Amino acid sequence: MFYVGVSRYFATGEGVTIYVASGSEESIRNAIPEYFRQGLTLLTPSDWIKAAGGDCVDEYHQSEAEVLKIYLPILWKQIEEIALGREFNLDFFMKYHFNYA
């Protein structure tokens, strides 16, 4: 099964670290260090579309979907294409870290 995973880690004095990866559950878990997997959200493209539309039980999923939609629009477009049944190879990995402390 194909997933897109998002993990956001916040810590006082350490800043914010965001991981986004696509692929199988195993490949995503291998790409993201174990320590940062605590808040990992793994959803299929169709589930990401539902979450962005507010059609989900978990508000956290909706928040993560908005992050993808707003800040990674090219990735979001590919998620939409896959959710519509269009097949192509999507291999995505990103780590973003910032600290204003």
Q: What is the pLDDT of residue 69?
A: 93
End-to-end alpha-carbon separation of the chain, Å? Answer: 40
Quote the CA–CA distance of 8 and 13 in Å, as a whole number: 15
Q: What is the pLDDT of residue 100?
A: 84
Domain of 90? 3-98
Total count of domains within the chain: 1
pTM summary value: 0.88
Residues 35-74 pLDDT 10s: 999 889 999 999 999 999 988 788 889 999 998 999 999 9
Residues 64-88 pLDDT 10s: 999 899 999 999 999 999 999 887 7
Q: What is the pLDDT of residue 90?
A: 82
